[in-house]
Chain A
Amino acid sequence: MTPVLAQAAEAAQASGSAELYAFVIIGALSLGSAIAMVMMRNAVHSALMLVLNLFTIAAFYAMLEAQFLAVIQIIVYAGAIVVLFLFVIMLLGVGGGQAFTGRLRGQKVAAVLLGLALFSVLAGITGPYWGEAAACNLPFEVRAEGDGLLCEGLAEANAEGNVRGVGLLIFTDYVWPFEVMSVLLVIAALGAMVLGKRYEDPADVVDQPAAAVPATRGPSTAGTASASAAGSAADEPGARAEDASPPDTDDEDDVRGEGR
């Protein structure tokens, strides 16, 4: 009896230290990749750092007894979302460029200070979870003594398997949100299709002839307007080069007629 208990306590302690080592290594990797994602100058490199960070989050899910979510994280994020990011970056060819080119002076310093303030607030909330009892895989007699909130652990909820437990919850208690999620996904797919449609004339989208835009703006914003005209002309080279010309007395239909 007693050797068995001692053995169980020893095994629990070994798994606790294994969790500690895994947490330190993966946590450093996670935080480092997150910071690197923000600091990277190239957007493609940022996306690759995001992949690394998402994999570390998946590893945390596996450590936190959420095996279903660990697999879903890899499939959905690394398999779909980041691929979508990379696809758009490479489709638009906007990988390079400056990382921080804000117009506001002192924006970076203010952002970092705000972030530190938020982090201190969030770290203050975690106070009750720092006790010995908040560690989940300790022997039971040790867990009962410590201060702080007691970690229940998922051994009971995952008794029949994590996938079965989550699936039962999704299709019983949370079936209505689940159906709403399906509708949301359909709407998102339809919205992406509508937004991704390529229009013949940008005036169909902006409700305004492109040649009339510089007339209503000051000289300081003329660069932006010509940049937009250049962007629309870049879609079909040579088709609407006259859009960048100064406004004249032509009405909307004439401009469109020349464009086509």
Chain B
Amino acid sequence: MSQAELTAAHTAASFNEDSGAHSGLTPEEKRQSKRNLRRRKLIATAFVIPLIVFVLIAFIAPIGTMLYRSVYHPTVAQLIPETLQALQSWDESGDSIPDTATLNVFAKELHYLAQERRSGKLAEEINRGLPGSSSTIKSSARKLKKLDEATLISEGGEHLLAAKKQWQDVRIWRTMKSSGEVFTDSFYLTATDLTRNEQGEIVARDTNIYIKLFAKSLKIALLITFLTAAIGFPLAYYLATAPAKVANTLMVFVLLPFWTSLLVRTTAWIAILQTNGVINDFLITLHIISEPIEMLYTQFSTVIAMTHILLPFMILPLYSVMKGIDPSYFRAALSLGAKPLSAFCRIYFPMTLPGLSAGALLVFIISIGYYITPALVGGTDGQMISNIIAFHMQSSNNWELAAALGSILLILITLLYWIYDRLVGVSNIKLG
């Protein structure tokens, strides 16, 4: 029984004592007892409040900001606010482009953007919705930059249409209007390989990047979970059944890697797997191979390094469950004539399931969001969803897409965490 359950049972018992004497209590005494209970609740809460406030500010608020970022995209709205306001009255479902007044407003705003060297940002944003429009906006911006304000206000639209014929195309105006929306689902659509067509319907994209990447991450995480279970199980069993002295000594070999820095272990795998690394040298010396095998910077190296890193997370819960299994059940089954294999499958294995499921869920949850090891040893083939999130944060600067991908991953993890809490109880996580 867990600590929480024990204390819960304890209060329930004392509560029943109270209610047993209920009939004998005066209303004043009842009030008193209620006040006492409330006071105890308050004291308990007072201990937790500082951490709750801290975690809310330091951790929950950032996660909330990320969720918000995935739907909030004010960039275009900040670049061309007046144009977007003018576009409000334009009917985007028709075949005609916006009226001259709107075009004049846009020409003026584009002129200012060009002067402030921010037209490239607008071009980049619109290009995401309508590929090819980047050059239209950039070259028009260059031409409008030279004109003076008075001309732009009266005949900016004409100059705009003259600058590029693409402005006659109703699609670029539709894209501008939709990119101008401050709250958008477009990053979630991109993150799930969907897009809106010209009629505003949600359709599949031609390219299938992110779904594939999610599927690959799930596949790698499953494979790692399976491998850790397959090699962790015999070791945990051996440790659990070995004499206490042997088991305690050998446990150090499990705990030392567990405690060793992630980067140290990743460094070690680089030394082992690289072209002139330990394994290749060894195999060449033994004349098993003549040319070094390319192992580093592949999916293989991601899987093997992560299996090594996460193996203790499987062994520790398995070991602690196996430790609690009475060996006489197994012996009883054997002495009653069961074959060892069937005794193992039908008696022992089912009893290890709590530890196995706890370990498997933990390993799966941790591996699905892994970043560092795939980034260092995975190459292009061994990248996981976290790596593409980091790419969009750091290199392509598409923060909203990174946030949308992150939110989808977060939903997945939350679901798994919830299952873990149901099955194992989060407060029962064992450390060391």
A binds B: no
